[in-house]
Amino acid sequence: MLRLKNVSAQYNMLTEYVKAVDHVNFEVRKNEIFGIAGESGCGKSTLLKVMCDLINYPLEISEGSVEIHSTDKNGNPLVYKNGDIHKSWWKIISYVPQGAMHVMNPVTRIKSQFFDAISKYHDKKNKKELEAEIAAYLKELELSPEVLNAYPHQLSGGMRQRVLIALATFLHPEIVLADEPTTALDVIVQRGILTMLSRVQKKMGNSMVIVSHDMGVHYQITNRMGIMYAGQMIEVGPTEQIFTNPQHPYTKMLINALPKVGDNSQKEGIPGTPPSLKQPPAGCRFAARCPVAMDLCRTREPARYEVGAGHFANCHLLSDMDIAAEVERHGA
């Protein structure tokens, strides 16, 4: 459906580059929710922009390709590549940006925001018909059609997020990308948004990509996921495998930091900070924070190893499973 091959992207700051995405490879399959996790600043949002062709200066793709595979009306294969993907916006791929308040025009009613975004792509219909169709869709998503007459500030944060999801999915795109859809919302509202996203996905049978720093979000709704660290995707696999059998030391630390039922012990964050993306270190980018780093880790970048069916991780320890088992015994 959507494939990234060896994609690198950077912010061109004239005197220096911030390499926000480094040689990322993965695919999003039909009819799945794919999650992208990692601490803030690890390149998740940039990666999402790259996926939907929102490439504006100073962001640029320096290497690799993004491809979307679809079919036309007659069932013939249709491929969009980076540079062209924006031509498929709304109908094939759509994007729910982060920060529901800031992306809406504060002085325009929700109705006009729908019209502005959609009318260009919608088969010729008069305004009344289109409005009736939008209202019916909002109802389907358990949103009162009255929100169409509201201004963004008259809606709660959760409601604005729901409106954005409704807008992004109204034309039934095959892929929906959502950047931190639950951030800054309280827990109950978050749960409502996640339920809405997975309901929409099931109903449309399309694909979704959810970026979130919150591992709980991934646990609740994603089928497969990737973990990013300092611009690289260091582990990819079925969500259930990532949570029950994480392989990269960073993923293990992320999972161990999660509160568990019945365990009242204080959870620690991961000590240290990620490296600068202006001059990332040689070798493994996690080495400075990795409790099991070896000399080799500081000089040579680890390869990607398949550690289970469709489960990959980039760590030198995995080149020799005996060493990995050793570390497991001593607790990585």
Kindly state the DSSP code that residue 66 receives in the 8-state scheme.
E
- Applying the rule CB under 5 A, the residues between 39 and 98 that interact with Mg ion are 45
Q: Would you say 294 or 321 has its CB closer to ligand SF4?
A: 294
Q: Is the dihedral of CA 329, 331, 305, 177 positive or negative?
A: positive
Report CA dihedral (287, 290, 296, 298) to the nearest 10 degrees. Answer: 20
Kindly state the DSSP code that residue 281 receives in the 8-state scheme.
P
Determine the length of the chain: 332
Q: Would you say 80 or 229 has its CB closer to ligand SF4?
A: 229
Residue 286 binding partner per list Mg ion, ligand SF4, none, with a CB distance cut-off of 5 to 8 Å that depends on partner kind: ligand SF4
Helix, strand, or coil (residue 278): coil
Residue 19 binding partner per list ligand SF4, Mg ion, none, with a CB distance cut-off of 5 to 8 Å that depends on partner kind: none
Structure tokens at 117: 């975004």
- In the complex, the residues that contact ligand SF4 under the rule CB under 6 A are 248-249, 284, 286-287, 290, 292-294, 297, 302, 315-317
Least distance (Å) between residue 200 CB and ligand SF4: 36
Q: Would you say 96 or 135 has its CB closer to Mg ion?
A: 96
Q: Would you say 101 or 282 has its CB closer to ligand SF4?
A: 282
Kindly state the DSSP code that residue 319 receives in the 8-state scheme.
G
Cβ within 8 Å of residue 40, ≥6 positions away: 213
Least distance (Å) between residue 40 CB and Mg ion: 6
Residue 45 binding partner per list ligand SF4, Mg ion, none, with a CB distance cut-off of 5 to 8 Å that depends on partner kind: Mg ion
Least distance (Å) between residue 231 CB and ligand SF4: 14
Structure tokens at 76: 């013939």
Q: What are phi and psi of 231, to 5 degrees?
A: 85, -10
Per-residue x/- track, 273-312, Mg ion (CB under 5 A)? ----------------------------------------
Least distance (Å) between residue 247 CB and ligand SF4: 10
d(CA 217, CA 220): 5
Structure tokens at 196: 């809405």
Least distance (Å) between residue 283 CB and ligand SF4: 7
Least distance (Å) between residue 36 CB and ligand SF4: 19
Q: Would you say 20 or 33 has its CB closer to Mg ion?
A: 20
d(CA 84, CA 49): 13
Scanning the structure block, which residue is given the tokens 């995405």? 21
Q: Would you say 103 or 327 has its CB closer to ligand SF4?
A: 327
Structure tokens at 213: 């720093």
d(CA 88, CA 173): 9
Least distance (Å) between residue 231 CB and Mg ion: 13
Residue 311 binding partner per list Mg ion, ligand SF4, none, with a CB distance cut-off of 5 to 8 Å that depends on partner kind: none
Least distance (Å) between residue 300 CB and ligand SF4: 9
Q: Would you say 258 or 294 has its CB closer to ligand SF4?
A: 294
Residue 93 binding partner per list Mg ion, ligand SF4, none, with a CB distance cut-off of 5 to 8 Å that depends on partner kind: none
CB 48, CB 233: distance < 8 Å = no
CB 246, CB 327: distance < 8 Å = no
Binding interface with Mg ion (CB under 5 A): 45
